[in-house]
Amino acid sequence: MAMSRKVRMQHPQYRVAFVFGGGLALSLLCALLINRIEVLGVWPDIPTLYVLFFTIFGNPKGRYGPCMAIGFMRDLLSGGPLGTYAILYGLVNRFLSPRRQMLFRENPVTQMMLAAFVVFGVNMAYHASMVIVGAGIGWSNATEHSLRIAAVTGPLMPFMSFGMILLFAKLNIARLPGGNYNV
């Protein structure tokens, strides 16, 4: 028991690079490139997929800290109040990380569905954060907008997982007991 706990909690590899480098790179990608592509009138929400991947596959050490850091990177390049995405991504990790073993996370179909659900939730919550300060586009419009973002983003999750797992193999990142990657 003590041994398995020790293995599970071993120091993550490349965490700083994946959290700060990856978070900043994806935020820049969103700010400079992705917003030139329009699919169904919306842009895909790639940083949320990255956070979801970290949540369901990453080393649980550090709890929601890494996800909050990725959210903070995104907040830095967004016009909204600082900390909105940080808190939302922290909550995503808080709610999904303890349930990662029950999510059939290796299956591309469940990955897709989970990604669509999480992206929808994050975008609705972001709209709620705007409503708090007196902005927003109305709840029915926001629901439609969030559903479209979820529909565009969800199918990308298996590709992101596949790409990340390939990258982990190249970097010799160990797989921990329980199926988590040591990042």
Partner 1 sequence: MARRKRMMTIATPFKHPLVLAVLLYLPLAISGFGLDLRLFMLEPMAWASGTAEAPNHEELSDDERKALQLASLQDQVAELAWENELLRQGYVQLSAIKAELPELSDDAILARILVRGDSSNWRHTIYINLGTEDGVSVGNPVTIGHTLIGKVREAGLNISAVQLITDADCVVPVTIVPGAPTMPEERTATAFTKHIDPDNDWRDNIFTDVLQLNRGLMRGEASAKPRVPNLPISDVNLESRVAEGDLVVTNDAQGHFPSGLLVGKVSQVHNRNTFLDLVVESAMDLTITDVVTVIRHRRPTLDENMRMTMEKRHLDKIEEDK
Site for partner 1 in 154-183 (CB under 8 A): none
CB of 181 to partner 1, least distance (A): 24
Please say whether the beta carbons of 96 and 52 come within 8 A: yes
Residues comprising the chain, all counted: 183
12 near partner 1, judged by CB under 8 A: no
Convert 90-110 into a string of H (helix), E (strand) and C (coil).
HHHHHHHHHHHHHCCCCCHHH
68 near partner 1, judged by CB under 8 A: yes
45 near partner 1, judged by CB under 8 A: yes
Name which of 95 and 104 has its Cβ closer to partner 1: 95
41 near partner 1, judged by CB under 8 A: yes
Q: Which residues pair with 181 in a beta bridge?
A: 175
Convert 37-72 into a string of H (helix), E (strand) and C (coil).
CCECCECCCHHHHHHHHHHHHCCCCCCCHHHHHHHH
How many whole angstroms separate alpha carbon 43 and alpha carbon 41? 7
The binder of partner 1 chosen from 9, 25, 141, 159 (CB under 8 A): 141
Amino acid (1-letter code) at residue 37: I
Tokens of 6: 């020790």
42 near partner 1, judged by CB under 8 A: yes
* Residue owning tokens 């109040």: 81
The binder of partner 1 chosen from 15, 51, 145, 154 (CB under 8 A): 145
The interface mask with partner 1, positions 85-114, x = CB under 8 A, is: xxx--xx--x--------------------
83 near partner 1, judged by CB under 8 A: yes
How many whole angstroms separate alpha carbon 183 and alpha carbon 178? 14
What does the binding site for partner 1 look like in residue numbers (CB under 8 A)?
Answer: 27-28, 30-32, 35-36, 38-39, 41-43, 45, 47, 64, 68, 74-87, 90-91, 94, 123, 126-127, 129-130, 132-133, 135-137, 141, 145, 149
